[in-house]
Amino acid sequence: MSSIAYVTDEEMLEYHRLCRNRTMLFWRLASRRKIADFRKGDLLFFFARPSHSRKKALIGYAHYDSTIRLSLKQMWEKYGPETGYDSKQRLHDAIDRAAKGEIPSVMRCLYLKDVVFFLSPIYPEEVGLSIQNNLESYTYLDRNDPRVTVRILQTAAKHGIDLWSADAERTPDEIFRNDETRHQLAVIHSDMGKESGSQQERTRAHRLSQMQREQDEWESIRGSETDCLKMTAHQIMIAIPLAVQANDRDARIRELFGRMSLYRLCAKKQKVDRPISFEVLMDREIDGLKELVEDFNNEEL
């Protein structure tokens, strides 16, 4: 799980916002270092100067999808306005300024999806960050503390989300709500610590988790090799694999229910906005366990 703040051209972002672009091609000069530990679905926050301000702030974000190497010509021919400019010449001029007159033959471009803009800028000090105003490229936000992304998203929720770019299928408000939940659950999982069990049990649990993620809309809880997540508008579902051996079955079952209780208690403390229900993934059925989990799901916390 990684989130970064990336220095972004204000004119480009305003063009994307006014055009209601939900995807963008975020070009980078090839000479700049590769972003490590940045995976599909991670968040790139736009660090830019808001109107009538000399100080930079976080003004929105998008989800990283993939990296593509393109020349300026290929960039414009394939993506056009998704680059954030209304003509090839304006794109050329922006890259020329950034490259100081030496435009690379090929640039490493980030393709971003599900763009969300904030109604009000979030200045670093509001969320306990120290980011220099003269930052040249990007900085990691949550490498040392996964709570940083949650604080940013919670502050953005108070300010409000710009719904101008809403479409009929998926609104920025829905995207934002799910992102906040993902990162809240990632923090909860991180606080729980690593999964227990023998190496054989962990291997089996990883396999069960992988099989679950192959189903529609299931994903890993960020930072977890086992626990999976599925969200609907009204509910959060968490799938936890249970792989046991005969000599530790009762202990593993107790740990399972302790883990489910911790998820619920911590979610309540963090004000997660939907109820949580659980599914247990097993490669060997355990008599009565599914009924116990169903009873747990029906209990009121």
In sequence order, the 6+-apart residues with CB closer than 8 A to the CB of 46 are 6, 8, 13, 58, 59, 60, 61, 62
User: Is residue 19, in this structure, part of any structural domain at all?
Assistant: yes
Residues 118 and 10 placed together within one structural domain of the fold: yes
Structural domain count of the chain: 2
**Triad 269, 189, 3: Cα angle to 5°:** 95
For residues 239 and 161, state if they share a domain: no
Judgement on whether residues 276 and 152 belong to the same structural domain of the protein: no
pLDDT for 271-286, tens place per residue? 898 999 999 999 888 8
Q: Residue 156 maps to which CATH number? A: 2.30.130.30
In angstroms, the CA 76 to CA 88 distance is 6
Q: What is the mean pLDDT of residues 240-248?
A: 85
Query: How deeply is 150 buried, as exposed, middle or buried, from its count of CB atoms within 10 A (0-12, 13-18, 19+)?
Result: buried
**Residues 57 and 48: beta-carbon distance below 8 Å:** yes
End residue of a domain, out of 140, 171, 202? 171
Cite the DSSP H helix spans in the chain.
10-18, 72-79, 88-99, 147-159, 172-192, 199-213, 249-269, 289-298
Residue 185: inside a domain, yes or no?
no
CA-nearest of 226, 150, 155, 145 to 181 is 150
- Give how far Cα 287 sits from Cα of 260, 283, 291, Å: 19, 13, 9
Are 292 and 215 members of one domain? yes
Same domain, residue pair 107 and 235: no
- CA–CA separation, 200 vs 42, rounded Å? 30
- Co-location of 109 and 55 in the same domain: yes
In whole angstroms, give the CA distance from residue 115 to residue 65.
Answer: 12
pLDDT of residue 35: 78
3-state DSSP assignment of residue 183: helix
Tell which of 122, 139, 171 closes a domain: 171
For residue 135, what pLDDT band results from cuts at 50, 70 and 90? confident
β-pairing, 57-70 vs 43-48, is antiparallel
- Inside any domain, residue 256: yes
Residue 179 lies in a domain: no
Contact (Cβ atoms closer than 8 angstroms) between residue 4 and residue 40? no
Residues 232 and 125 in one domain: no
Residue 99 confidence (pLDDT): 85
Asked if residue 234 and residue 134 are part of one domain, the reply reads: no
Task: Judge if 31 and 76 occupy the same domain.
Answer: yes
Residues 106 and 198 in one domain: no
User: Is the same domain home to 44 and 157?
Assistant: yes
| CA–CA distance, 116 with 169 (Å, rounded to integer) | 15
Instruction: Specify the pTM.
Output: 0.80
pLDDT digits over 143-154, tens only? 777 789 999 999
Q: Which tens digits make up the pLDDT trace of 212-238?
A: 999 888 999 988 889 999 999 899 999
Domain boundary among 171, 202, 229: 171
Token readout for 268 is 């309540």
Q: Is residue 188 part of a domain?
A: no
Domain assignment of residue 291, yes or no: yes
Whether 243 is in a domain gets the answer yes
Per-residue pLDDT, averaged over 84-106, amounts to 90
Q: Which residue range forms the structural domain that includes residue 72?
A: 3-171
Pair (248, 160) in one structural domain: no
Among residues of the chain, what percentage have pLDDT more than 90? 54
| Domain contains 180 | no
